[in-house]
Amino acid sequence: MSNNDAESRRAVTAAIASTGSAGVGQMVDAGISSQKKRVQNREMKEAQMARDKAEHDAAKAKNEGTSNTLVWGRVKRPTGESTGPPVDGSMQILSPSTMDYNQGLDISHQVQEDVWVDEINKFRINGRLCEWIAGFHPKQIPCQLDGGFLNGSYNVGQKVLFEDGTTWLLRFPRVKSIYPKYADEKVVMEVEALSLIRERTSVPIPDVKAWGLADSNPLGLGPFILMDFIDGVCLNNVFTGGDSRLLNKEIPDSDLEIVYRQIANFMLQIFEINFDRIGSLPTPRTGYSAPTCPLTWKIQEIAQTGGVHTFDWQQLRYQPNSITGELDAIAKYASLSILESLIPRFVNVAYEKGPFKLICDDFGPANMIVKSEKDLTIVGVVDLEWVYAGPAQLFGSAPWWLLHDRPVNEEWDFKDGNPPEATKRYFNCLDIFKEALAKEEAKMPRKPGTKLSELVKWSEDSGAIWFHMLLSSGFFDSLSFPCMQLRQYISDQWWRERVNELEVKPEVKHFVADKLQDLDAYDKNLDEIERLKDCLDRGEMTRDDFIVAVDGFPSSSKCRHIVE
């Protein structure tokens, strides 16, 4: 979510949390000018989009009939393909900025997590946490906490050491990060996935010792999982570092091959697990009544950080700050319409009716534990969240995780029409992965049906790789790496023509007008939330009172003019 104001707001919130009331004075000044900053940032984005549009139109008028090909990355089209949009390498830059998260919700979630963390600490100090955990041990022997919190993006972990020497990990979904209504389902789906993978493969995953829903937790700390603690080093800590979230440039290809071959082997084993329908996983271990619609990473992120249920159209429609201005609203509406029209083009008919595969939206090196920095043997695959039964082509898409960061994040964005530095590195890693996959696949018993390597190749050759990345991510941004790659594959000229056709439609004009009203209302509400937060930081209200007050603000709007 690339937004300078958003980042500065996070810094302010973090500073308040770390400095306490003594540091509030200097934080207040930053908060007072936040609305002015928001307006300035939006005006800058709209102005840039207007300049880009004018430059493109002028260039098009001057060079009508010529081809000005740009090579951004490696794009393959099937030989002899003549159907679909015309191929034209000319590039125009009019694209929506990254959709921002709902900042009022973010402030509220942080305060809610502060309350929750205080509760956990209370039970850590008074011993009730250990007493509760000991009750799950087969012999109910005493235990002690080993070290502090192990904080992840979506979970808080606590290492627990029993008197008999066994070590477990207690894990809670983070209040700040997980949509409350999805917390139970998140835990259940992970328990079912871990059980299934442990039963059907040799992938090194932790054994689940106990689990529970929120209402079964007597401490009131939410749903939980107790599992084996796996000693080792997170692969992400070995392969990344410094200011960038991307793969360290100094990692040799030989190390990548060692890791990729292991991951490819895991994927080949999991690929053999089949389902007869798309949706939530079966729940034989938990007995949980799961909804048909699966809990994906995208659904969770849009709900928790955008304040909207379900998918892209609904997010654009109901999230009050889903646009930054008129041009951004037009571009987002048009781009989503175009993507929707392209769905039939990217369906792999060979697997259209199944079998369906075990999809994990968060699967990747960040969830791998290796023996040490020098021994890259993977000893644990953890945090298998956002799991469900999905299309084989999604499982077999060229991996998004090759550089250890989601390609929809800011570091991957095109700047002034130029591809990110990560482009060449991504394709280099993809070549290494495909070679590793082929080697591991050759070792597996041959079975009838499409090979996983063939699906990976199809995703790259067809352009579906970029479509899959976009479908799996919320907070749509057509300046993102996968969208720009997709536009190159399809033809940017064709894309722009579709935008021109859509932007003059009456429903688009109504949509833009409604969204601009939403944005004004959002700014007013956010200003009031920030004022309440200042009161909280000055000790003029309790955290509970703050949470109740903020819950009274609408988190979504009701825009009428949109096609779903």
Q: What is the pLDDT of residue 46?
A: 62
**Of 62 and 216, the one with more pLDDT:** 216
Angle at the Cα of 417 (from 346 to 61), degrees rounded to 5? 95
**Phi and psi at residue 83, in whole multiples of 5°?**
-85, 170
Is the separation of the CB atoms in 369 and 382 below 8 Å? yes
End-to-end Cα distance, the chain: 24
pTM score over 0.85: no
For residue 24, is pLDDT > 80? no
pLDDT, average across residues 171-182: 97
Q: What is the pLDDT of residue 44?
A: 59
Return the residue matching tokens 């894309």.
495
If you average pLDDT over residues 334-355, what whole number do you get?
A: 93
* Gap between the Cα atoms of 418 and 499, Å rounded: 21
Which of 102, 3, 99 has the alpha carbon at shortest distance from 522? 102
The confidence score (pLDDT) of residue 38 equals: 55
Contact assessment for residue 330 and residue 49, using Cβ atoms and an 8 Å cutoff: no
Q: Which two tokens stand for residue 163?
A: 């008197």
Closest CA to 171 of 360, 365, 383, 366: 383
Residue 77 has pLDDT above 70, yes or no: no
Give the CA diameter of the chain.
81
Alpha-carbon Rg of the chain, whole angstroms?
A: 25
133-137, 219-223, 241-245, 342-346: which has the minimum mean pLDDT? 241-245
Residue with tokens 């999230």: 319
Question: CA-CA distance, 526 to 35, in Å (whole number)?
Answer: 9
Instruction: Measure the CA–CA gap between 264 and 284, rounded to whole angstroms.
Output: 28
Helix intervals (H) in 89-245: 103-126, 128-134, 183-200, 235-239
Q: Which helix (H) or strand (E) holds 417?
A: none
pLDDT range class, residue 469, cuts 50, 70, 90: very high
Sign of the torsion angle spanned by Cα atoms 36, 41, 46, 50: positive
Q: What pLDDT is recorded for position 52?
A: 58
pLDDT score at 160: 98
Position 191, amino acid: V
Three-state secondary structure of 523-562: HHHHHHHHHHHHHHHCCCCCHHHHHHHHHCCCCCCCCCCC
DSSP state of 503: H
More confident residue, 19 or 437: 437
- For 184-202, what is the mean pLDDT? 98
Q: Which domains does the chain have, with CATH numbers?
A: 104-232 (3.30.200.20)
pLDDT at 37: 55
| 3-state DSSP assignment of residue 167 | strand
DSSP-derived secondary structure for 12-44:
HHHHHHHHGGGGHHHHHHHHHTHHHHHHHHHHH
CA 432/CA 403 separation, integer angstroms: 12
pLDDT greater than 50 at residue 186:
yes
Phi and psi at residue 16, to the nearest 5°: -60, -45
Q: Find all residues with CB under 8 Å of 149, minimum gap 6, and list them.
A: 156, 157, 158
pLDDT tens figures, 296-318: 999 999 999 999 988 899 999 99
What size, in residues, is the chain? 564
The string of pLDDT tens digits covering residues 36-46 is: 555 556 655 56
**Does the structure show a pLDDT above 70 at 76?**
no
Cβ count near 294 (within 10 Å): 20
Average confidence score pLDDT of the chain: 84
**Does the pLDDT value for residue 68 go beyond 90?**
no
Beta carbons within 10 angstroms of residue 256's beta carbon: 20
Residue 17 has pLDDT above 60, yes or no: no
Kindly indicate the confidence band of residue 476, based on its pLDDT and cuts at 50, 70 and 90.
Answer: confident
- Dihedral sign for Cα 389, 395, 401, 405, please: negative
The mean pLDDT value for 536-561 works out to: 83
The Cα 488–Cα 371 span in angstroms is 41
DSSP-assigned letters across all residues of 304-365: III---SSHHHHHHH-TTS-SSHHHHHHHHHHHHHHHHTGGGG--GGGTT--EEEEETT-SG
Closest to 172 (Cα-Cα) out of 157, 184, 162, 161:
157
pLDDT-based confidence at residue 409 (cuts at 50, 70, 90): confident
DSSP string, 256-303: HHHHHHHHHHHHHHHHT-EESSSBSPP-TTT-----SS---HHHHHII
Q: What is the mean pLDDT of residues 522-550?
A: 96
514 pLDDT more than 80? yes
Contact 324, 45 (CB under 8 A): yes
Q: How far apart, in whole angstroms, are the C-alpha atoms of residue 291 and residue 325?
A: 37
The answer to whether residue 56 scores a pLDDT higher than 70 is no
Q: What average pLDDT does range 106-111 have in this prediction?
A: 96
Both tokens of residue 223? Answer: 């749903």
Please give the structure tokens belonging to residue 243: 């200011």
Residue 2 has pLDDT above 50, yes or no: no
User: What's the mean pLDDT in 434-448?
Assistant: 91
Among candidates 200, 182, 498, which has minimal Cα distance to 339?
498
Quickly state the pLDDT bin for 49 (edges 50, 70, 90).
low
Higher pLDDT, 48 or 299: 299
Residue 386 has pLDDT above 90, yes or no: yes
Q: How many whole angstroms separate alpha carbon 522 and alpha carbon 542?
A: 24
Give me the pLDDT at residue 453, please.
96
What is the per-residue pLDDT for 47?
60
State which H helix or E strand residue 228 sits in.
strand 224-228
Q: Torsion angle, CA of 234/409/298/41, rounded to 10 degrees? A: 140
The letter for the amino acid at 427 is: F
Residue range 20-29: average pLDDT? 32
Higher pLDDT, 417 or 464: 464
Phi, psi dihedrals of residue 389, rounded to the nearest 5°? -90, 125
Q: What's the rounded mean pLDDT across residues 248-264?
A: 97
- For residue 2, report the phi and psi dihedrals to the nearest 5 degrees: -80, 105
What integer is the mean pLDDT of 462-485? 89
Contact 310, 556 (CB under 8 A): no
Q: What is the pLDDT of residue 384?
A: 94
DSSP letters, 439-494, are HHHHHSPP-SS--HHHHHHHHHHHSHHHHHHHHT-SS--TTSHHHHHHHHHH-HHH
